[in-house]
């Protein structure tokens, strides 16, 4: 059986040891509801993350999907 409590505990410990210093938060959802919400590096639910590069990634994914579906002329 899947031990979710152990997984969450291990993940929490691992991140607190600074193995991934750029991870500021972890949210685990199940059936549309937040089951686990953890913050690291001084972040809180009210703290904003800089998302300057996110749009480049989103546009790249959308462009790839568009090209894959044969709609590349509509993407221009």
Averages of pLDDT over each 10 residues, the chain, 76 residues: 75 84 84 87 87 80 85 66
Is the domain of 27 the same as that of 2? yes
44 contacts 50 by C-beta, under 8 angstroms: no
pLDDT of residue 72: 67
> At CA 5, angle to CA 13 and CA 38, rounded to 5?
50
**Containing structural domain, residue 59:** 50-76
Q: Please tell me the distance from the alpha carbon of residue 66 to that of residue 72, in angstroms, as a whole number.
A: 6
Count how many domains the chain has: 2
Is the domain of 56 the same as that of 39? no
pTM: 0.56
Is the domain of 34 the same as that of 70? no
Is the domain of 4 the same as that of 41? yes
């Amino acid at each position: 059986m899947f031990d979710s409590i152990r997984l969450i505990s291990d993940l929490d410990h691992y991140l607190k040891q600074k193995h991934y210093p750029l991870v500021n938060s972890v949210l685990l959802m199940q059936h549309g509801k937040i089951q686990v919400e953890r913050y690291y590096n001084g972040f809180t639910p009210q703290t904003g993350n800089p998302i300057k590069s996110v749009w480049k990634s989103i546009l790249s994914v959308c462009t790839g999907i568009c090209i894959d579906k044969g709609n590349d002329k509509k993407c221009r």
